[in-house]
Amino acid sequence: MTASESSGSVVRRILLGSQLRRLRESRGITREAAGYSIRASESKISRMELGRVSFKARDIEDLLTLYGVTDDTERDSLLGLAREANVAGWWHSYGDVLPGWFQTYIGLEGAASLIRIYEVQFVHGLLQTEAYAHAVVARGMPGAAQAEIDRRVALRLERQKVLVSERAPRFHAVLDEAALRRPYGDRAVMRDQLKHLIEVSEQPNVTLQVMPFSFGGHAGESGAFTMLRFPESDLSDIVYLEQLTSALYLDKREEVAQYERVMARLHHDSPGPEESRDLLRGLLQLT
């Protein structure tokens, strides 16, 4: 099984959940009634429709019957989607150091065709060198065992393979200058990180822009965020907002549209890729 297949299982889970929700709503059936039909709670139906749990074939069959789906072809298609959605991702082997709420994100990141990010605190995880990632993880987890820090860094490096995979997404990053000036590790670590950013920015699928201090206040005032787009036309864009102990996944059209406008302004107001590389070279000379 390839990484893209295991990442795709998360997308299929979300797709199946959204189709189940549409079927339920079209029949005017409440989540409570749907839950009763599969011997489960209303919250279980909610989690299924959000694509946050695995699916049992029997539950899907019972729900499809409740929703009046009798066509064998349609039933088989949705049951097949459920089987594919239950494929475990490569990241499950890091379950000892990986919060459950972040597992969903890794799957979505690996399945996206376009990843757009704005980062202000530090260099984004997909762009970090091993030494820089080690410094970031160690700073964020004071007192953690060395083995746990190493595992988290290994996971981050594994994630980075998505940018050079056969089906690599387009990756458009805007890094606030603050993320580049805030030291993690010693000077050598920071120098290597800046050199790495210059190198990665020249990959054909990567666009890197730096929002300089000199611009002043800008559209990214609400903080870091990620936007994910998928090749599946019936899956909407998702905005990912990471918090200390959880994360938010926004997919409502009006909310996504607001972040889309902010991202567009960041792209417009930040220097272009070549000018941004010049900024990185300037910072490198100062480090």
**What's the pLDDT tens digit per position in 246-287?**
889 888 899 999 999 999 999 999 999 999 999 999 999 998
Q: Is the pLDDT at 2 greater than 60, yes or no?
A: no
Q: Is the pLDDT at 1 greater than 50, yes or no?
A: no
Q: Is the pLDDT at 196 greater than 80, yes or no?
A: yes
Check residues 53 and 6 and name the one with the higher pLDDT.
53
pLDDT digit string, tens, across residues 32-50: 999 999 999 999 999 999 8
- At residue 83, the pLDDT reads 87
Q: Is the pLDDT at 233 greater than 90, yes or no?
A: no
- At residue 111, the pLDDT reads 87
Check residues 15 and 276 and name the one with the higher pLDDT.
276
Q: What is the mean pLDDT of residues 168-175?
A: 97
pLDDT digit string, tens, across residues 95-110: 888 887 888 889 889 8
Q: Is the pLDDT at 62 greater than 60, yes or no?
A: yes
- Distance, in Å, from the CA atom of 238 to the CA atom of 115, rounded to the nearest integer, reads 10
